[in-house]
Amino acid sequence: MAHFDTTTNAGQLLAAASGGRRRRGDRVFSNIAVVAAVTILALLVGVAAFLVAEGFPAFTSSTAELPNQESFISYVAPLAFGTVLAGVLAMVIAVPLAVAVALFITHIAPARLALLLGFFVDLLAAIPSIIYGLWGIFVLGPAAVPAMRWLEEKLGFIPIFEGPASITGRTMLVVGLVLAVMILPIISAVAREVFSQTPRKLQEGAQALGSTRWEMIRTTVLPFGRSSVISGAMLGLGRALGETMAVAIILSVSGGVTFNLIGQANPSTIAANIALNFPESSGLAINVLIATGLVLFAITLATNFLARIIIDRAEIK
């Protein structure tokens, strides 16, 4: 029997009481969706809350109670310094390369090749960080030693190349290089996206004026993509700041704050420090490590906010 027999009078409208069941289905489903959304919020709040709770003792304990009788600030300061140093170094190396890679793929390479190349660059992003760590310490480190020695000899007057050059290659410079390789695909993906979306009219306008390819890129593609590239760079920086394993494996740690990039005594990063010390720690030491984790979280949050401000400012212009 046809279930839509509406030849009876339109009072069926109100009596179409499958309305009741339908309303329930809608309510249930939308409730589930809201619950999921709230769960996410709760999760993030939970992360912050638990970390603060567990890290709190480290802030409140007196110096005598802390491991090594060292105040929390003096413990975390060199770590924070190392974190930022490694991150900034990685960004400085990666951004120009990423922009060049993106320009190559979007404007110079032939179209079919471009697709393949993009795929390969994205592969870089998929490689787990532990592998970068192993590669860094077994391959890149030793290979970089002669270069670092050369830097010490010829450019040693510059503080960052002060030396003495490490003989194992486990230096901040190598760490910076490895981190740069890790974050390059992220920045390059963002840059590729925006460069390929440069409006044709802009580009053709420049070409119609008789500009060379580079001139066109310089006057249309780069300005158009500037804020996106900055945003990508900050994304990459955030990733580099939080990177653990590559640093933990490669870096030879023994010290405090120094700008010497090629030496043996390097500050560790917060993340690597946690990874190296956590498994064997107990008691207050764990609280201290968690507290440093909080500091790291704060740094990455600040980086993200900074990125957002820069983007918004650039877009308003």
Partner 1 sequence: MEGRKLKDMLGSESKPGTEAEEGRNTMSQAGPVTETSSRPEGVGAPARPAKTLEAKEVNLYYGDFHAVENVNMTIEPNKVTALIGSSGCGKTTFLRSLNRMHELTRGATVKGSIQLDGEDVYGGGVDPVAVRRLIGMVFQQPNPFPTMSIYDNVAAGLNFNAGKIKKSAKDEIVERSLRGAHLWDEVKDRLGRPGSGLSGGQQQRLCIARATAVSPEVLLMDEPCSALDPVATLAIEDLIGELKKEYTIAIVTHNMQQAARASDNTAFFNLDESGKPGHLVEIGPTDEIFTKPKKKETEDYVSGRFG
Partner 2 sequence: MTPPPADAAVLSTRSLFSGEGSRGGSLPSWAPWGAFVGAVVFCGLVEAVLGWFTIALMLVFGCLVAIVAIYAWSRPVEGARRAKDRAVTMAIVAAFGVAMAPLISLLYEVIVRGAAGISWEFFTSDSRGVVAGGGAAHAIVGTLVITACAVVISVPIGLMAAIYMNEYGRGPLRRALTFFVDVMTGIPSIVAGLFAYALFELFFGPGIRMGIMGSIALTVLMIPIVIRSAEEVLKIVPDHLREASYALGTPKWKTITKVVLPTAFAGLVTGVMLATARIIGETAPLLVTTGVVDSMNADPFQGRMQNLAVYAYNEYRSPGVMKQASFDRAWAAALTLILIVMILNVIARLVYRRYKTEIR
Q: How far is the CB of 2 from partner 2 (least distance, A)?
A: 15
Burial class (CB in 10 A: 0-12, 13-18, 19+), 164: middle
> Which 17-36 positions form the footprint of partner 2 (CB under 8 A)?
22, 25-26, 28-30, 32-36
Instruction: Give least dist CB 230 to partner 2, A.
Output: 16
Q: Which does 10 bind (CB under 5 to 8 A by kind): partner 2, partner 1, none?
A: partner 1
Distance CA 90, CA 67 (A): 32
Report CA 72 to chain centroid distance, whole Å. Answer: 26
Report the interface residues with partner 1, using CB under 8 A: 2-4, 6-7, 9-11, 13-14, 16, 18-19, 22-23
14 binds, among partner 2, partner 1, none (CB under 5 to 8 A by kind): partner 1
52 vs 149: CA distance, rounded Å: 44
User: Residues with Cβ < 8 Å from 281, sequence gap 6 or more?
Assistant: 289
Cα–Cα separations (whole angstroms), residue 180 to 56, 122, 260, 281 = 34, 14, 18, 31
Which residues in the 158-187 window bind partner 2 by CB under 8 A?
Answer: 181, 184
Q: Which of 60, 138, 226, 259 binds partner 2 (CB under 8 A)?
A: 138
Closest CB 271 distance from partner 2, rounded Å:
5
- Using CB under 8 A as the binding rule, the residues of this chain from 238 to 257 that contact partner 2 are 238, 241-245, 248-249
Residue 28 φ then ψ, to 5°: -60, -50
Q: Which of partner 2, partner 1, none lies near 11, with the C-beta cut-off 5 to 8 A by kind?
A: partner 1
Considering only 92, 113, 115, 123, the residue that binds partner 2 (CB under 8 A) is: 123
Write the binding mask 203 to 232 for partner 2: x where contact by CB under 8 A, - elsewhere: ---------xxxx-----------------
Query: Which one of 57, 61, 67, 135 is in contact with partner 2 (CB under 8 A)?
Result: 135
- Span 61-120, contacts to partner 2 by CB under 8 A: 96-98, 100-101, 103-104, 108, 120
CA dist., res. 50 & res. 56, Å (int): 10
**Residue 258, CB half-sphere, CA atoms under 13 Å: how many?**
23
Q: Are 281 and 289 in contact (CB under 8 A)?
A: yes
Phi, psi of 253 (to 5 degrees): -105, 130
Q: Which is nearer to partner 2, 258 or 292 (CB)?
A: 292
